[in-house]
Structure 1
Amino acid sequence: MMIPAQVRLQGIFDGKNHRVLWNEFEDDVGLGSWTGRVVKQTQADGGVLTIDYAHVEGNVLGRLITKPDGSKRRVTFDPATLYPKTDTAAYGTNLAQTITYERSAGGQITAQIAPLGRRTEYSYDGSGRKTQITMMAGTTQARTTILVYKANGDLESITDPLKHKTTFGYTSRCLTSVTNPLGNVTTATCNAAGQRLTLTDALNHTTSFIWTGEDLTQISDPLGRNVHFRYDVLGRMIAAQDVQGNLTRMEYDGLGRAVKSIDPLVPLCYK
């Protein structure tokens, strides 16, 4: 597949027009077009990452990524699903470690084999949701975790390898209760936007949350003590007030990076 040159992401520049990333692309000279595949990335510090799409080892085609520090990673792909089949870190060294994946016809991971040969197997339901995870599969130490879902896809329960079951309850898709294996229940409430309003533990201690739009502006603990947060028009936190009324302030540069924190209890500014 050929990608028109005009839709490629060539570079990324920050707010001061400093280049933080520059891409170079594979050029199909014969067709006078580009495949759209990045073969080289130059980072802000001058470090270079390269990608070789035609790397062959033992008649197996793979992708070889060389990082700025010189370390290499080789990835091969399943020909049927096109998802990764093997992923080797520290490729070409005596420290090389390979993770191998087995997949279903739809590309879902059915097994993952760690560098030491330890096998983890996965099962799925008809909707593609993970229902079973078996670690150390095929050994006497195999341990299985089971996940059960509601009809709408919400996670209903998790049963660990020791048969300890945790269940989850929902109200309008908002998680409103968690019951641990001992039967202790933590409950919660949400607003119409799905934001957490209260959280009550098994001892009936309630923590409350207040929101202004998308911003969390107050947390009240079970003793009624309040912590307040303030934001600028860009949604960045600029101040936090603790239960004693002490105010910590944050300042940002033109790129949105936090550059200063002013602690009310210490007469210093940290940059």
Structure 2
Amino acid sequence: DGSSVHYAYDARHRITGILDAEGGAWKRDYDASGNLTEEIDPLGHKTEYAYDNAGRPVRITDAKGGIKTLAYTPDGQLASHTDCSGKTTQWAYDGRGRLARITNALGQATRFRYTEAGEAAQAAMPGHANHPGQLEEIVHPDNTSEYFAHDAEGRLLAHTDALGRRTSYGYTRAGLVAQRTDAAGRTLKYHWDLLGRLRELHNENGSRYDFHYDPVGKLLEEAGFDRKSTQYRYDEASGVLAEVIEAGHSTRLEFDALGRLS
């Protein structure tokens, strides 16, 4: 349709302005550490961001004056998030830094359990043992559980959801996903080339999704299950993506002398 989006940058290559396809201008400001501190949309609505000494966001103030706050553990992991209405979600971790519990604003907790040495996976795939430290179970506030089973390489073999529906996975010798089978027995098969690039997907209906690459591995075309095509064109000099053609419509990407989207 001939519309375009333009970007402006500062000396540190940060986006300071965006002129959108409708002619609306966005403005961004940063602090000395490079953190985004303010964003103003085309209507003049301002969102402000504040950070702690480690550069982590601790407060976001929206255009209506609503405030969201975030807090962190001494190890830097997210501990809590309070939204504009004052509702707080909390995260807790075990001694190894793994997520152990999420408590929502109603006080309802979702718990995460990991296998320890010698423990076997439960309902996900009986007879297969998860290795120590792998996620085995998620217990939801209603006491329903999800289960996970992994192989010796740590790859996911099966996931059983809270309703008992199991999705299983198979892998190639190279460790790439070969197939996924859902609880209804529907299988999606993955086909890879010798360079590890995904070439085809085959669904349970026998339909095929194709991927085509150039000699250096750049994706040139996708042909979906419905056989609709998306094509990609690259700049000959820089090799960066320059055009996307989909359903007869072309989207062109232009870059400045420093390689930044303009």
Same structural fold, with TM-score higher than 0.5 when normalized by the shorter chain: yes
Question: What TM-score results when the alignment is normalised by the length of structure 1?
Answer: 0.66
Instruction: Say if 2:81 is the partner of 1:116.
Output: no
- SS of equivalent residue, structure 1 residue 182: coil
Equivalent position of 1:240 in the other structure: 223
Instruction: Say if 2:205 is the partner of 1:230.
Output: no
Equivalent position of 2:56 in the other structure: 83
| Cα distance in structure 2, aligned partners of 1:77 and 1:247 | 45
In the TM superposition, residue 155 of structure 1 has moved relative to its aligned partner by: 2.1
Answer 1 or 2: higher relative contact order, Cα 8 Å, separation at least 6.
2
Asked whether the 8 Å contact 2:188–2:203 carries over to 1, the reply is yes
In the TM superposition, residue 223 of structure 1 has moved relative to its aligned partner by: 4.4
Q: 2:142 aligns with which of 149, 153, 162?
A: 162
Equivalent position of 2:254 in the other structure: none
Structure having the larger proportion of residues in strand: 1
Instruction: Say if 2:28 is the partner of 1:49.
Output: yes
| Superposition RMSD in Å | 3.4
Instruction: Say if 2:169 is the partner of 1:177.
Output: no
Asked whether the 8 Å contact 1:188–1:198 carries over to 2, the reply is yes
Instruction: Say if 2:46 is the partner of 1:72.
Output: yes
Change (3 A) 1:190 1:68: same
Question: What TM-score results when the alignment is normalised by the length of structure 2?
Answer: 0.68
Within 5 Å, which residues of 2 pair with 1:1-271? 20-24=7-11, 41-42=16-17, 48-51=27-30, 64-67=37-40, 69=42, 70-78=44-52, 83-90=56-63, 95-136=64-105, 141-151=106-116, 152-171=132-151, 172-212=153-193, 213-233=195-215, 234-240=217-223, 242=225, 248=229, 250-252=231-233, 254=235, 255-261=240-246, 269-271=248-250
Larger Rg: 1
Q: Which amino acid aligns with 1:131?
A: A
Residue by residue over 1:75-110, the C-alpha shift from the partner in whole angstroms, topping out at 9 and shown as x without a partner, is 33345x5533222122xxxx1211112322222222
| Cα distance in structure 1, aligned partners of 2:31 and 2:186 | 57
In the TM superposition, residue 209 of structure 1 has moved relative to its aligned partner by: 1.0
Asked whether the 8 Å contact 2:102–2:110 carries over to 1, the reply is yes
| Cα distance in structure 1, aligned partners of 2:185 and 2:15 | 57
Change (3 A) 1:214 1:108: same
| Cα distance in structure 1, aligned partners of 2:74 and 2:224 | 54
| Cα distance in structure 2, aligned partners of 1:86 and 1:220 | 46
The percent identity for this pair of structures is: 22
Q: Which amino acid aligns with 2:28?
A: L
Asked whether the 8 Å contact 1:119–1:135 carries over to 2, the reply is yes
Structure 1: segments with no counterpart, 5+ residues: 1-18, 26-37, 55-61, 263-268
Asked whether the 8 Å contact 2:138–2:146 carries over to 1, the reply is yes
Change (3 A) 1:253 1:164: same
Q: What number of residue pairs does the alignment pair up? A: 217
